[in-house]
Amino acid sequence: MSKLETGVNATANDCYTLTAVALHWTTAVLVISAAVLGIYMHELPFSPTKLRLYSYHKWLGVTIFLLALIRLAWRSAHPAPALPSNMPSWEKNAARGGHAALYAFMLCVPLIGWVMSSAHGFQTVYLGVLPIPDLIGKDKELAEVLEKVHAAFSLSFMALVALHAAAALKHHFIDRDNVLRRMLGLRGLP
């Protein structure tokens, strides 16, 4: 109520919307699952389980990609709350850059995976029912290159996720600000 009256000021823009919070944590669970699955399934001997896990991994990737688009659309209509004013500007820039990079990874890691799958000659069929067209045809050499790119990007993504989590914990336990709390859907500290 007071938010409507005060308009866009610090207090009004202090929280993430519940939608943004839900989307963030859903993405977190899916991204970590996809990464663990990706590392685990890779070394498995050829088996029905392996085929299943590869499909699940691809479905996770497609979902993460779609969620990233939804989050960007939501974010453009509901801007993220401002970073604490006492943060040094290099930290603010690092946070903004890091978040942008996380979105870039959420979009490009699934994209590379999809093209890589096509290059291997396997179309991606979302949830086993929705065929996603192949952007490119079967190409073994390209597939091997894309495999390396997909792996390198995924590992960089995971490193950035770890940094992202570490930064959130630093905000919570060292800076004692509301950066982590507001992403947990809790009210900001006074």
Partner 1 sequence: MKLFFVFMAALLFAAAADAAPVIKEQSRITFVSRQMGVPVEGSFKRFDAEVEFDPKETKKSRASITIYLDSIDAGSEEASIEIKRKPWFDVKNHPKAEFKSASLSFFGPGRYRVSGNMTIKGRTRPAFSDFTVKERGGYRVFEGKFTLKRLEFAIGEGAWSDIGTVADEVDVSYVFSVPVQSANK
Q: Which residues bind partner 1 (CB under 8 A)?
A: 46-49, 51-52, 54-55, 120-125, 128-129
Q: Which is nearer to partner 1, 51 or 72 (CB)?
A: 51
Compute the least distance from the CB of residue 46 to partner 1, in Å: 5
Q: Which is nearer to partner 1, 96 or 138 (CB)?
A: 138
Q: Which is nearer to partner 1, 117 or 178 (CB)?
A: 117
- What secondary structure letter does DSSP report for 125? E
Compute the least distance from the CB of residue 48 to partner 1, in Å: 4
Q: Which is nearer to partner 1, 120 or 164 (CB)?
A: 120
Instruction: Give CA torsion, residues 125, 130, 136, 142, to 10 deg.
Output: -20
Compute the least distance from the CB of residue 125 to partner 1, in Å: 4
SS3 84: coil
Residue 120 contacts residue 142 (beta carbons within 8 Å): no
Compute the least distance from the CB of residue 38 to partner 1, in Å: 16
CA separation for the pair 153, 113 (Å, rounded): 10
Neighbours of 121 (CB within 10 A): 12
The residue among 134, 136, 125, 161 whose CA lies nearest residue 51 is: 125
Q: Which is nearer to partner 1, 88 or 128 (CB)?
A: 128
Compute the least distance from the CB of residue 185 to partner 1, in Å: 36
Residue 179 contacts residue 83 (beta carbons within 8 Å): yes
Q: Which is nearer to partner 1, 44 or 155 (CB)?
A: 44
Compute the least distance from the CB of residue 56 to partner 1, in Å: 9
Question: Residue 144 contacts by C-beta under 8 Å, 6 or more apart in sequence?
Answer: none
Question: Residue 120 contacts by C-beta under 8 Å, 6 or more apart in sequence?
Answer: 138, 140, 143
